[in-house]
Every structure is written in C-alpha cells, then in structure tokens.
Amino acid sequence: MSEAKQARNNSGASLQSIGVQQRFGAWAAHHQLVAVETLIRLLKNPLGSLLTWMVIAIALTLPGALWMTLDNMQQLSGRFQESGRITLYVKPGTSTADAQALSKRIDALPQVATTEFISADDALADFRANSGLEAALDFLPTNPLPSVILVEPPLGIQQADLRKLVDQLQSYQLIDSVQLDMAWVERLLAMLALAERLIWVLGILLALAILLVVGNTIRLAIAARVDEIRVVKLVGGTNAWVRRPFLYTGLWYGMVGGLLAWLLLIICWLLLSGPVGDLAELYGSAFSLRPLSAGAALMLLLSAMLLGWLGAWWSVSRHLDQIEP
C-alpha cells in the first residue's frame, strides 16, 4: 500500500531547484535562438532589409570618409614638418669646426627633433649651382654666405615651449640671427582641428539619423506583431522576453549596415588611391592614400551595432507598454 501511494506521489508534477549554471545555459540558448530567428526573418524580406541597411551604410560612410581624410591629412602634416624649422645663421668668421660643435650641442637639446648643419662653402656651392650667377660670384673676394644650422622642433610643440627654445638658441654667442617659420604648420594644424570638429558634428547628426531610421523600422515591426505580443504577454511573457527579438533586429541592422559602410569606404579608397598617387608623383612626393585603419573600421562597426541596438531599445520602450493583453 505504501509503495502504491509513493508511486502516485511521484507521478505528478514536482518542484525542482534550478541551479545558476542551468539558468545561465537556458538564457544563453534563448539568446542564440532569438538571434538566429531574427536574422532569418530579415533575410526573408531582403528588399526592405537591404534598403534599411543601405541607409545606415550611407549615413556611416560620410563620417568614415571624413575620418579617413583626416588620417591622411595627419600623415601629410608630418611631411610638412620642415616648414616649421628654425634657421640659425652663424656669425661671420666662425670656423666650421666651432659651428659643427654648436650644431651637435643644439641637437642634444630635449626640445629639438633633428638638426642639419650647412657650412658656408656648401651654401655657396648650392647657390652657385641653382642661381645661374656663376660669373658674378667669381668676382666676390670672399664668401658672403654664413654657415647655417637648421633646427626642427617636434611638430606638436606648444607655442610657449617654442618661444623658450628660440630664446635659448638666440642666447648662444656664435648665433648671429634666428629665423622661425611656423605659419604653414600652424595653418595645417588649424585645418586638422577644424576637420576633427566637423567629423564629430557630422557624426552626431548622422547617429541621430540612424537612431530614427532603426527606431521607425522597429516600430513598424512591432505594429505588425501586436497580436503575437499580446498572446505572449497573456501566457506570462515578460517585457524583457518580448523586447529581445526587436533588440537583436536592431543589432543586425547596425552590424550589416556597418559592414556595408566599411565596404563602401574600401571601394572609395580603391577609386581614389590611383589618382591621388599620380597627383603626388607630379609634385615629387611619395605620398599615398591610406585606407581606413583596422582600429577605425572596428570602431565604426561597433558604433553601428550600438546605434542599431539603441534605436531598437528606444522604439520598443516607447510602444511596448501600450500593448496589453
């Protein structure tokens, strides 16, 4: 009799404790299932999904192209570092050995990147070769040109530190005069700062556009599944459970849109790298157009995924509470 009673007790439903590991496994399995299902749902409507992906891709391509341009301008700015160098004219009558010793002493300063010494004889020979005044120079009794020390400070040196460096160089007894030309580098750095600010402004505006596009798309998806959402809530489904497929939809929109934006940037680089290289060669420069770096491309993709997720979350949060069983 006791065995029959025990059998009846074991035949019904019973309470079981579920461990943390089992809970986490079920949670991860459901996330994986929802991610695959939402991707399949998007692929079943290729035209509508492709239009949304292309809108996101184009919106991301614009700041990405500006970012790539800024990166190449920064590369170009390093080539103009010589435009900001300091020219030191050695006093007449100074021996070449003393001038060279002074050049080495200046090169050891922490505020100096590199130095180049040009002796008076080398300067005269260069002037004779390039000026076309060889006959007139033969009538000069002595060499009128002084020895020159070219000092290149670091490109990112502050103006106050640069003034201190100029004052220090001017204090040397063998230096007759100091000439500084930082105008071109200052203009270039100002252009870089303006371009960086423009990227941020345009990026924020286009990010808002992506949020609106994804949010409106998710709103339409919610409207098409109102009855399904009501049934899920009726049987005890939580808001998190209902929200999850739409969040993954926004994530897929952002991911694929970011990949398409990266592909468009690669195509732009392939189309422009040849003409830019030809133009640089005409100016005697070895400049070459660089594509978007791997780090920047990864940041672009992660930003697109984040924007897609935020747009979906914003849309679902607005409309989910309005749907009740």
User: What are the structural domains, with CATH classification, of the chain?
Assistant: 30-78+187-319 (no CATH), 86-180 (3.30.70.3040)
Q: What are phi and psi of 149, to 5 degrees?
A: -120, 120
Average pLDDT of span 168-188: 77
Give the pLDDT confidence score for residue 103 in this predicted structure.
87
Whether residue 82 is predicted with pLDDT greater than 50 in this model: the reply is no
pLDDT band at 259 (very low <50, low <70, confident <90, very high): very high
- Residue 143 has a pLDDT of 65
Q: How far is CA 202 from CA 52, 72, 144, 311, in A?
A: 20, 19, 56, 18
Query: Is residue 252 very low, low, confident or very high in pLDDT (cuts 50, 70, 90)?
Result: very high
- Asked if residue 322 has pLDDT above 80, the reply is no
Note the pLDDT of residue 182: 60
* CA-based nearest residue to 320, from 251, 218, 168: 218
Q: Is the per-residue pLDDT at 233 higher than 80? A: no
Give pLDDT, residue 1: 47
Share of the chain above pLDDT 70, in %: 80
Sheet holding 86-90, edge to edge: 114-118, 148-152, 86-90, 175-180
Report residue 169's pLDDT band, with 50, 70 and 90 as the boundaries.
confident
| CB-count burial class (<10 Å; 0-12, 13-18, 19+) for 322 | exposed
Category of 132 on φ-ψ map: left (φ > 0), alpha (ψ -120 to 50) or beta: left
Q: Average pLDDT of the chain?
A: 79
Report the C-alpha gap between 253 and 232 in whole angstroms: 24
Position 307 pLDDT exceeds 50: yes
